[in-house]
Structure 1
Amino acid sequence: MREFNLDRLRTLVTVAELGSFAAAAQALHLAPPTVTLHVAELEGRLGAPLLRRGRPSVTPTGAGALLIEHARRLLDSADAALDAVRRHIAGHAGRVRLGASTGAIAQLLPQALQALAATHPGIDVQVQVLTSAETLARLASGGLDLGIVALPQPPGAGLQIEPWRQDPVLAVLPAAWDAPDPVTPGWLAAQPLVLNDGSTHLSRLCTEWFAQAGQRPQPRIALNYNDAIRSLVAAGYGASLLPADGGAPPGNAPADPRLQLRALQPALWRPLGLAWRADDDGDGLVAQVLSALRQLPTAAGLPDAAA
């Protein structure tokens, strides 16, 4: 059996509510013969009368009343679905799936989500902790709507990648260490290290920074979780290289008094980009989240991604 047509069901419900084929035709902006045809098609498919054509009004039969009860729920659900989609397209309410690294989630997203919640409380941002490669793969497959990724990235079919910001990478050291300022690759390579693992773009940046000075240190441990790295550094287990919290310059004291920050010489920057599917350019929800992220400030004196 073919699926019920919602237009036919809406016609049946309207005739029953108004008690007249003519009144239903006027309310639905349909020609009277069209209203009659809609009801006749439903009755023909079910093999039973659904309305009693009496005077002064039309009333549902037992079968008609049962179908009308279910039809109202179906129509309410369809109307709610259409309203939700319209609100999504307009950027008022709905879900946006975002992928990002632990560092970006901890350091950058809270400010953007707080601003977004104040202006668009109906937008639900669901965050997944992923590497940049995983984020791009899930965007391409439709598993995500938006991503924060390390740059540069190879162009992907159907994806938009926009340079967003640059944050300085700093030496993160136990507070008790006597450290130079700035920190050089040679000095840092001689210390025990706790670094990001090789699956991350930050690991590749740091490896290149050391290699340019002829250094190839091996970390005591490699992790893909910046908060765990900070905890190990705070415990004196080693030193690390991490992006500044939210773009804070090295002169700012870290939140944990057991840590100290030092600038690097030569300087090292972590560029980030925003990625989304090209066919989502007209998606109002994605546009609202992108707008909130683009409005995040960079620290004074630090270049943004366009610099």
Structure 2
Amino acid sequence: MRNLNLDHLQTLITIADLGTFAAAAQTLHLAPPTVSLHIKELEARMDAALLVRGRRQAELTPAGEALVTEGRKLLLASDDLVELVQRRASGREGVVRVGMSAGVSTRLLPLMLETLIARSPGVEVRLEAVGSSESIKRLKAGTLDIGIVASPQPATAEIMMTPWRNDPMVALVPSSWDPPELVTAEWLAGRRWASFAPATQMHGLISAWFRQAAQKPRPFLTMSYPGALVSLAVASQSAALLPLEIIDEQRLSSDLAIRHLSPQLMRPMALACRVAQYPNPAVETVLAVISEFGN
């Protein structure tokens, strides 16, 4: 059994609206015999008479009226479907799952989302706080679309890595400690300091920075949430080692001082996504927006 032809249905509705085959042919830019053929094939498909040709105009039969009434809804749904497909194809609509490591700035995230909403309001971003290694696993499994991860990561043919940001690490120190202009590993080793949990890339970076100066101090506290590290420093409980990009200097208390490290320590991050034969346009849209906030 053949499916309903939407072009034939449009022809019937146009005749119903305009009253004659000739007017419908002119409006649809079809030859009159083609209009007649459309109706003939549609009646054969429905196994029902749909139109009665009068002396001046064509009139719908009861079956024709039913088909025109419901057919209008079908054509509208068809137009909506075409628009949906086109939005998806152009990257203006879709759901994109993004995994973020603990070091991603809570200051940058709202700016990225605002840009995306302004540019592609139909794209929904679902954010998940996951570690870099877990992001890579979930990208391979297909449960994440994009990962904002620590760099470098082990090379794999399945995942494409693009450098995103390379931010200096700094010490957030209580001003009452009278910190030097540049904080060294030797100066910090004798004081309380806190940083990210051992499973994170930044813990490894900081440990290597201390080892470079032949220091092996243990942190006063380790956490996975940057805001908690800042709060510790505000309470004068410890220094906090953080990426400079995370710190909102305009809102920083005067009781705290930002000090760069000596030697300099950088925190690199990358954007990770699956290598796909047919890239998802919505994912490409989100990647493009996030990339704009790289350095």
**TMscore range, shorter length:** 0.7 to 0.9
Question: Structure 1 vs Structure 2: percent identity of aligned residues?
Answer: 33
TM-score (structure 1 length as normaliser): 0.74
Distance 1:176 1:241 in 2: 17
Change (3 A) 1:201 1:85: farther
Change (3 A) 1:16 1:71: closer
Query: Which residues in structure 2 correspond to 1:1-307 (within 5 Å)?
Result: 5=3, 8=5, 11-12=8-9, 14-19=11-16, 23=24, 27=28, 36-37=40-41, 39-41=43-45, 43=46, 49=48, 51-56=49-54, 57=58, 59=60, 61-62=62-63, 65-66=65-66, 69-117=69-117, 120=119, 122=121, 124-130=123-129, 131-245=131-245, 255-279=252-276, 282-296=279-293, 298=295
Distance 1:28 1:143 in 2: 49
Change (3 A) 1:273 1:78: farther
Q: Which has the higher strand share?
A: 2
2:123 and 2:282 in contact (8 A); partners too: no
Q: Secondary structure at the match of 2:53?
A: coil
Change (3 A) 1:152 1:92: same
2:146 and 2:283 in contact (8 A); partners too: yes
Distance 2:75 2:217 in 1: 66
Distance 2:153 2:294 in 1: 23
String of CA shifts for 1:98-136, please: whole Å, max 9, x gaps.
332354241333444444555x25354524132223333
TM-score (structure 2 length as normaliser): 0.76
Distance 1:213 1:204 in 2: 15
Change (3 A) 1:295 1:9: closer
Gaps of 5+ in 2: none
Distance 1:35 1:277 in 2: 50
Matched to 1:89, the amino acid is: A
Pairwise CA RMSD: 3.7
Distance 2:226 2:212 in 1: 24
Count of matched residue positions in the alignment of Structure 1 and Structure 2: 284
Matched to 2:228, the amino acid is: A
Deviation for aligned residue 1:254 = 6.6
1:161 and 1:273 in contact (8 A); partners too: yes
User: In structure 2, what is the equivalent of residue 301 of structure 1?
Assistant: none
Deviation for aligned residue 1:13 = 5.2
String of CA shifts for 1:182-221, please: whole Å, max 9, x gaps.
2222332332232211232222222222233343333333
Change (3 A) 1:296 1:80: same
Deviation for aligned residue 1:67 = 5.7
Distance 2:150 2:30 in 1: 55
Deviation for aligned residue 1:236 = 1.7
